[in-house]
Homo-oligomer: A and B are copies of this chain.
Amino acid sequence: MGWRLSQLAERFGLRHQGDDAEIRGVNTLEAAGSDEVAFLANPKYASLLDSTGAGAVILQAKHAGRVRTSLVSDNPYYDFARIARLFARPEGHHAGINEQSRIHPDARVASGATLYPGVHVGPRTSIGEGAVLFSGVYVAEDCRIGEGCILYPGVTVLSRTDIGRRVILHPGVVLGSDGFGFAQGPEGLEKVPQLGRVIVEDDVEIGANSTVDRAALGETRIGRGTKIDNLVQIGHNVHIGTDCVLVAQVGIAGSTRIGNRVVLAGQVGLSGHLEIGDDCRVGAQSGVSRSIPAGSDVSGSPAMDHRTFLRSAALQPKLPEMHSRLKKLESQLSDLRDRLKQKGEDDG
């Protein structure tokens, strides 16, 4: 399926400049051919404009003079995303509700949902219109899966989990596993029953093999539009706000509350019972063990202000040298004092 550049421009409110080529796909500036559209978002790559073979480039007005054919955009990466979606082939090939899926008679599955063979849907669970559940998906009892959700192979959703609309759960995601709670009893650690549940709001995406534990009591909640990468761990009773970004291998301990638009870079760890304010940013591999106010930008383990971290980190390799200089100073000062003392000048 092809689109004329003029059609794309009209559909997405862009300015079309140059030939009205037919576009059949998207690609990078380096690899795109004459029937593909590329984009320039990072000015670092502007020099590629001179050599690209792309049929058109999505770019900002200030770069438009450098190519013959373009779609001029205020936000090229966003418009690229929207155009790319036209050419994306959805994963999978099944349609409809396969008769080898295992749907409890008390479940409610919308007629327009897609269920692959081997899918399990428990009693009193509802599956929304347009949802796609791949093979090996297990959805337990008393759950809700909203309209348009995609649950990739091997996703497990345990009882009473509530999932909004257009949520994407990548392969191996686990929602609603027991939180990690134990009480010291007379004969060792006693399991504290985990009686709460998990709520995932609309437009959330959770990466492959990530895990979200159910609350001990009450709920663990992932706010609308939040995006979570692969192998992330969300502990029980954690609340995450809207439009957050959690990069791969982040771990968040129990009962921590995260505001809106927070960005946690890869392998960050947050201790339990913290408050992370809106718009905070936490650098890769950082460890946060204290609450931080809105707008904070922190890094390090333990975390500190990001600019302080950069200066501190730059000195880590110089610690041995600093230590030598310290010793030398001690020696020089000691010598000086000794000599002055010998001369009777320093009677301190």
Binding site for B on A (CB under 8 A): 25-28, 31, 75, 77-78, 80-82, 84-85, 87-89, 91-93, 100, 102, 104, 116-118, 120, 122-123, 134-136, 138, 140-141, 152-154, 156, 158-159, 168, 170-172, 174, 177-178, 180-185, 188-193, 195, 203, 205, 207-209, 211, 213, 217-218, 225, 227, 229-231, 233, 235, 242-243, 245, 247-249, 251, 253, 266-267, 269, 271, 284-285, 287, 289, 300-302, 304-305, 308-309, 311-313, 315-320, 322-323, 325-326, 329-330, 332-333, 335-337, 339-340, 343, 345-348
Complex: A251 Cα to B208 Cα, angstroms: 13
CB pair A116 B123 closer than 8 Å: no
**Which residue of the partner chain, among B208, B247, B249, B323, contacts A315 with CB atoms under 8 Å?**
B323
Q: Select from chain B the residue with minimum beta-carbon distance to A250.
A: B249
CB pair A152 B141 closer than 8 Å: no
Complex: A87 Cα to B195 Cα, angstroms: 9
Given A182-B245, A309-B317, A319-B319, 4 more pairs with CB closer than 8 A: A85-B191, A138-B154, A177-B230, A284-B287
**Could you give 14 example pairs across A and B, Cβ below 8 Å?**
A78-B190, A81-B190, A84-B195, A93-B122, A102-B117, A156-B172, A156-B208, A170-B177, A180-B227, A188-B203, A231-B251, A233-B248, A233-B249, A335-B348
CB pair A171 B156 closer than 8 Å: yes
CB pair B317 A322 closer than 8 Å: no
Complex: A43 Cα to B31 Cα, angstroms: 53
Across-interface contacts of A78 in B (CB, < 8 A): 183-185, 190
Across-interface contacts of A140 in B (CB, < 8 A): 91-92
Across-interface contacts of A225 in B (CB, < 8 A): 188-189
**Which residue of the partner chain, among B75, B122, B251, contacts A249 with CB atoms under 8 Å?**
B251
Complex: A82 Cα to B184 Cα, angstroms: 11
Across-interface contacts of A213 in B (CB, < 8 A): 208, 230
User: Measured between C-beta atoms, what is the minimum distance from A75 to chain B in Å?
Assistant: 7
Across-interface contacts of A308 in B (CB, < 8 A): 317, 320
Query: Given A284-B289, A320-B308: A174 and B134 within 8 A (CB)?
Result: no
Complex: A296 Cα to B152 Cα, angstroms: 39
CB pair B312 A316 closer than 8 Å: yes
